[in-house]
Amino acid sequence: MKTIIKHNTKNYKIDLTKPLDISIPITGKDSNVNAWYVGPPKIEPHSEGDFVGKVTEGASVNFNNIYFNPHAHGTHTECVGHISKEFYSVNKSLTKYFFMAEVITIAPEKIKDDFVISKKQLQYALGNKKREAVIIRTIPNLKEKMTRQYAKTNPPYLLEDAAQLLVDKGIEHLLVDLPSVDKEKDEGALMAHKTFWNFHGKRRLHATITEFVYVANSIKDGKYFLNLQLASFENDATPSRPVLYKIEE
């Protein structure tokens, strides 16, 4: 089904029957993507007394409990409440769900023992484009990202000036295929998070960061409409399902 979306006085055509899902789902398997030194998520039948919530065990319904951490176990979207003493809910921060977005591919640069995404790389990839959201795909881009165990691997991250560039360009929603926009062990500095949310100034309360996406190689760099779907949790972060739609000329 093709539809017209009006954005900044201009009409764009997208095909709603051709979504490009860039989320990583949460499973109950040990192979579930993982970070931050926690165990795998659990999806298991609820049991109480003689009741086991599983049809194959005699119950009339399947009735599972799910244990997970949104930051560690799959695609998630977070707000400034992730790093603030004050409580902010991502469910309240995100009040729109369609955005003009740009997919870019970056090969992180090596600086000493780290691989980083720099301001220069983002400037080259984005140029003068005006977007509300940016999706960063890093290379190499293997399907292993769907199941990678990231703890103690020092994954790539954004430098502070790279995050500032995104703010200066008016980017409200940043999506990355990494477990974090910051270094795995940075002694709590969190400079990319703090910079993107302007943490020490007038905080960007409606800005979001989405981590652990997976952008298949079949999805080309360029302009898309992003539908950022959230699970409705009142929390600093929630599992999410970002979906791209190709813009038809």
Domains of the chain: 2-25+72-248 (3.50.30.50)
pTM for this entry? 0.96
Q: Between these two residues, 4 and 210, which has the higher pLDDT value?
A: 210
Q: If you average pLDDT over residues 189-210, what whole number do you get?
A: 98
For the purposes of burial, counting CB atoms within 10 Å of the CB of 240, is it exposed (0-12), middle (13-18) or buried (19 or more)?
A: buried
In the three-class reduction of DSSP (H, G, I as helix; E, B as strand; rest coil), residue 43 is classed as strand
Please give the average per-residue pLDDT across 169-194, as a whole number: 98
Q: 136, 175 in Cβ contact below 8 A?
A: yes
How high is the pLDDT of residue 246? 97
Q: How far apart are CA 216 and CA 24, in angstroms?
A: 11
Average pLDDT along the chain: 97
Tokens of 187: 């002694």
pLDDT above 90 covers a percentage of the chain that reads: 94
Reduced to 3 states (helix: H, G, I; strand: E, B; else coil), residue 128 is coil
What's the pLDDT tens digit per position in 129-143? Answer: 999 999 999 999 999
pLDDT at position 249 over 80: no
| Amino acid identity, position 83 | I
Band the pLDDT of 9: cuts 50, 70, 90: confident
Q: Is the pLDDT of residue 47 over 90?
A: yes
Could you give the CA distance from residue 195 to residue 165 in angstroms, rounded to a whole number?
10
